[in-house]
Amino acid sequence: MKKQLFSVVLVVVVAVVAVYLIYLWGFCRIYVAPGQMAVVTAKSGDAPTTGTLLVECGQKGIWRDVLPEGRYFLDPVMHDVKIVPAINIPLGKVGIVTSKVGKPLAPGEIIAPDKSYQGVWRDVLGPGVYRLNPEGYQVDVVDAINIPFGYVGVVTAQTGKPAQSGEFAQPGEKGVLKDILQPGLYYINPRAYQVNVIEIGMNQVSMTGREGSVIEVKNRIEAASDALSEMSFNTLNNQLQNRQEMLKSDKSLRGNMPAPQVARASKRRVMGAVSGAVATTTPETPDMIYSIGSFVEFPSRDGFKIMMDMTVEFELLPEHISRIYMFYGDLPQVVAKIILPQILSASRLKGSSYKAQDFIMGEGRETFQNNLRNELVVAMKEKSIVIHNAIIRNVTIPQNILKPIQDASLAVEQNLTNYSLQETAKIEAELNTQTSLIEQKRREIEQETQKMMAEIAAKRQQAVRLIGAETELEVAKLQLERSKIDAKRNKLKGETEVKVAFLRNNETAQGAEMKAQALGESGIMTDLELVDKLNPNLKLQVIYAGNGTMWTDLKSGAVSIKK
């Protein structure tokens, strides 16, 4: 009975486990694919604080943390799960996060001090994949700030305590920052910092006085890729729209620039700035054009009205850009408020000291142009603007004074031309004379050269012969000296040989004499000489047989003499 009961219980347990596993795998399993995230809402758990939008795991409500990619098991009865795409920030974009949860901001604030507050985060999300709960955080994807080549970015902090008047904003203050952004890509929160892109390098202000007269500020874009070119185009286009809005709202600029418009620029090819980049075609780039519709106009010293076209080349240096922007504003405002009034003022001041005819004659115009340029250089230097050139093109003078001056000038020029023709004829005659003299001199020089060459050749041959004779004489002298030396050598050799023979024979005789004296008798000496002359191979045997006997074996001691 117990065994049967145990079997029944075991079957029931196995069945319950099997049902649970089937329920868990078939109904509770949640799969979050790559690039997605899951937002979980718990229907049970601890009650959160009243007004809380996102709760922690284990509490009732929307969980703060989302589930990343992977496999999870949640009871569908107690949990609602919503799978949404993860937040993907592509290259060249930033994500601006607006938090719906946290402590409320102080009145007037728009940027959250940190992530524990509601509102816009100061830090942005750079390129990448992020998983923020969309129920509590809103992410707006916008373009990053791209500063093209030929431009810098002036940064203005949008939040904080206002900086002191005429001073750059310090950290935490609202106002223009001293440090500028060099060309490049920056991930900056546009709601916390406003970036104005301003041209540096050479720019021109042209006043033609014709219908549609303009001040032109040429934009320049150079990028290493199509993506960066597109971003640069968007940055400059936004800056253009800001300038147009500024012109519409600023009444002080309407008198000088009433009709802002955009000139369409042709597509340009630019070379890549990165190794390996090739020439690419940029998008159409807008050029800023502001209509002014007036000449540079002033009275001359003799009371005539002078009007002229003028172009002024100026440059804004990067180290002065932020200060110029803080005091005067964007480039169009600098042109309208500073450069244009200074051009008109300096032109009237300098031009009123010249007569009308001075603007017709080349020297007078050049002097006026140089003086005007120097005046603008000094005046603009105080405002940190560099003036490179002031160019005068067309000068309009009343016809009643222009024609007599032109006629007089033509007469003077005609006289100068005739005088020049006469001088030219004299110079040509003098040139012909000098040419004949040159030809004569050339021939004289050729003859003198040939004569000198012959003399040099004769002297060379004479020197060679003289050297040969002197060499032969020296050789004869050497041979004579050699003969004398040979004679002395032969004489010394003969005398030496005689002396040697004499000394040798004399010593031999003295030796024989001394040997004879030593032996005492002459016969003994002779016998010794005989013995010395015997054959050294001769052997003698002497046999002693007793007292008074001696045998000599002459036969066995004989030595055969070879003939």
For residue 274, what are the contacts with CB-CB under 8 A and spacing of at least 6?
224, 225
- Write out pLDDT tens, residues 439-488: 888 888 988 898 899 889 888 888 888 898 888 888 888 888 888 898 88
pLDDT of residue 281: 35
Interatomic CA distance for residues 443 and 458, integer angstroms? 23
Tell me the two tokens of residue 560. Answer: 């055969």
Q: Which residue has the tokens 């004989």?
A: 558
Tell me the two tokens of residue 459. Answer: 């002297």
- Write out pLDDT tens, residues 294-303: 667 778 887 7
pLDDT of residue 139: 93
Q: Are the beta carbons of 269 and 169 closer than 8 angstroms?
A: no
Other C-beta atoms closer than 10 Å to the C-beta of 156 total 16
One-letter identity of residue 454: A
**Nearest to 86, CA basis, from 40, 126, 134, 122:** 134
Q: Higher confidence at residue 526 or residue 330?
A: 330
Per-residue confidence at 501, pLDDT binned at 50, 70, 90? confident
Cite the residue boundaries of each domain of the chain with CATH code 3.30.479.30: 146-397
Architecture of the domain made up of 146-397: 2-Layer Sandwich (3.30)
Beta strand spans in 56-150 (E): 61-63, 70-73, 79-85, 87-89, 93-99, 111-112, 119-121, 128-130, 137-143, 145-147
pLDDT of residue 468: 87
Beta strand spans in 364-437 (E): 386-396
For residue 490, what are the contacts with CB-CB under 8 A and spacing of at least 6?
none
- Write out pLDDT tens, residues 323-363: 998 988 888 888 888 888 888 888 888 888 888 777 776 67
Interatomic CA distance for residues 264 and 517, integer angstroms? 150
